Chain A
Amino acid sequence: MDTTLSDLGDLEKAVLEYLWASGPADVKTVYRAIGVERSITHNTVQSALKRLYEKDLLERSKEGRAFVYGPRVDRRQLTERSVGEVVDELTSGDMEVALQAFVDIADDAGRETLDELERLIDQHRDGED
């Protein structure tokens, strides 16, 4: 299943934001940019980059002895995945305890019923006119 925004921790999101803004970078560069201010270690940043690579959100290439990481998906694609996942939840019926839908997706009124209702609406619209 594709990774979405909700599957990411704060550090992972921060790493992604940095790479989207600045382009591909090695661990040291990312650590200097976002690790120092967070008072976290170089290893922690390295682990975050590795996790994002394993989640297929980053690609990497070897330059010398270090890996350089770059984004595999852009912000829009990741957002779309997140929205898609939320929408699947909204339309799944599991949200019934905290959702009032304008029209319940589970209401199985078919096209015949809708045609009949349209005729009824037309009668009333003509009556109002």
Chain B
Amino acid sequence: MSLPSIGFLQRLSLIVMLGVSAGAVLSWGVLRSRLASLRDVEPHRRLQRLLFWTACPAAAGLLMAAVGLAPSWLHEIGVGHDHCHTPSGHVLELCLLHTGHLPTSSAIGWGLIGLVVGGVGLQWASDLQKLGHAHRTIQRLEDVPRTDASESQPYQRLAVDEPIAATLGLLFPRIVISEGLLETLDASHVDAVLAHESHHADRRHGLLCWSARLLSRLHVPALQSTLLDDIELACEQIADRRAAEQVGGPVPVAEALVEVKQSQLDRLGATMTPPSSMAFDEHRLERRVRDLLETEWRTPNLWPPAVALASGGFVLAAHEPFHRAMEMGLGVFW
């Protein structure tokens, strides 16, 4: 097997972009009418569905790459035959087996790739910049001395009046709670807050949401922020439910949510920063409280992801006709 030429890499990139685009369009087509119907799905199941659709474009792109490379790789490991020599008027656009037939690159191809990769790349660059900024802020917490009381606590106590309770960081998440909040809440509410944040930390929800953020950039722009909002809401609701299990019921968690918000309003006044994006008409806080207390969750099975995985597996197993179709398509344009 020879090394890939620039032209080969260009064609493979275009195939991957085609897969990503198809995945993005499919996700948009399905989710724009079905997102609302996920509202009463049990949060954990809902999160699984959302993550599946979030990963759909990336998965479709990888599948296309695998189909493009499959004949070369399978032949290399002695499993597949040399499909290039079967009589079919076959165009050698995606072949690593035969030197001297490697395709050249084209300016139009690079233009297309640059356009798409540039668009996604700019968003990823912005996300990485925000992450760097967040990381530096979290590092500065190291400069803040811990009070004696907080040495034995699983959280860092911030000596400020603002009502803050949060989990910070992706790989090694830490919980911070402000003295202002601790003075506002009674013991049962503090337990609820701590149970909620501990679940975020244990499950690395920060890392999960960050990964989803990067994958969401492959989606249609109209869907990106909606997907992220819904994923974040699902993570919050999962943590709410785990906290409710730990503190003996949903009421203390709901009370803590309302108390913390009231404390924020008291501290910061009626003028609040508008939310960056909301998936539904009602506020996220309201939805969390109502869902904790009232909603009867549905637990649908995971057949759509299962069907998708089976379809992907079928395409890989029967890759030959798909591979030829790719090459014919590329041959038309080059």
Residues of A within 8 A of B (CB): 5-6, 79-80, 82-87, 89-91, 93-111, 113-114, 116-118, 120-121, 124-125, 128
In addition to A5-B140, A96-B276, 4 A-B residue pairs with Cβ atoms within 8 Å of each other are: A97-B130, A101-B165, A110-B265, A128-B251
CA distance A108 to B278 in the complex (A): 10
A116 nearest in chain B by CB position: B286
B196 nearest in chain A by CB position: A102
Query: 24 A-B Cβ contacts within 8 A?
Result: A79-B159, A80-B159, A86-B158, A87-B164, A87-B178, A90-B164, A91-B164, A98-B170, A98-B210, A100-B167, A100-B205, A100-B209, A101-B166, A103-B165, A107-B284, A108-B273, A108-B274, A108-B283, A109-B285, A113-B283, A113-B285, A117-B285, A120-B294, A121-B251
B127 nearest in chain A by CB position: A97
CB distance from A109 to the nearest CB of B (A): 4
CA distance A21 to B170 in the complex (A): 37
Are the CB atoms of A107 and B251 closer together than 8 Å? no
Q: Is B293 an interface residue (CB 8 A)?
A: yes
B162 nearest in chain A by CB position: A87
Say which residue of A6, A82, A83, A114 sits within 8 Å of B261 (CB atoms): A114
Say which residue of A84, A89, A93, A120 sits within 8 Å of B289 (CB atoms): A120
Residues of A contacting B159 in the complex (Cβ-Cβ under 8 angstroms):
79-80, 83
Q: Is B138 an interface residue (CB 8 A)?
A: yes
Q: Is B143 an interface residue (CB 8 A)?
A: yes
Residues of A contacting B274 in the complex (Cβ-Cβ under 8 angstroms):
106, 108
Say which residue of B138, B145, B205, B258 sits within 8 Å of A118 (CB atoms): B258
Q: How large is the interface on B (under 10, 10 to 19, 20 to 34, 35 or more residues)?
A: 35 or more
CA distance A114 to B169 in the complex (A): 30
Are the CB atoms of A98 and B255 closer together than 8 Å? no
CB distance from A86 to the nearest CB of B (A): 5
B139 nearest in chain A by CB position: A6
CA distance A35 to B167 in the complex (A): 40
Q: Is B71 an interface residue (CB 8 A)?
A: no
Main secondary structure of the interface of A (DSSP, over half): helix
Q: Is B264 an interface residue (CB 8 A)?
A: yes
Q: Given the known inter-chain contacts A91-B164, A100-B235, A117-B254, please indicate yes or no for A107 contacting B130, CB distance below 8 A.
A: no
Are the CB atoms of A125 and B236 closer together than 8 Å? no
Are the CB atoms of A87 and B158 closer together than 8 Å? yes
CB distance from B269 to the nearest CB of A (A): 11
CB distance from B247 to the nearest CB of A (A): 13
Q: Given the known inter-chain contacts A95-B168, A100-B206, please indicate yes or no for A106 contacting B250, CB distance below 8 A.
A: no
Q: Is B268 an interface residue (CB 8 A)?
A: yes
CA distance A83 to B140 in the complex (A): 9
Residues of B contacting A6 in the complex (Cβ-Cβ under 8 angstroms):
140, 143
Q: Is B131 an interface residue (CB 8 A)?
A: yes
B126 nearest in chain A by CB position: A97
Are the CB atoms of B131 and A97 closer together than 8 Å? yes
Are the CB atoms of B131 and A98 closer together than 8 Å? yes
Residues of A contacting B213 in the complex (Cβ-Cβ under 8 angstroms):
97
Are the CB atoms of A102 and B166 closer together than 8 Å? yes
CA distance A15 to B73 in the complex (A): 63
Are the CB atoms of B166 and A100 closer together than 8 Å? yes
CA distance A125 to B112 in the complex (A): 60
CB distance from A88 to the nearest CB of B (A): 9
Residues of A contacting B135 in the complex (Cβ-Cβ under 8 angstroms):
98
Residues of A contacting B197 in the complex (Cβ-Cβ under 8 angstroms):
100, 102
Residues of B contacting A111 in the complex (Cβ-Cβ under 8 angstroms):
262, 265, 270
Among all A-B residue pairs, the 9 with the closest Cβ atoms: A98-B134, A102-B165, A109-B283, A5-B143, A101-B166, A89-B137, A103-B260, A109-B285, A6-B140
Give a binary string over B233-277; 1 marks a CB under 8 Å from any A CB, 0 the rest: 001100100000000011100111110111011001010111110
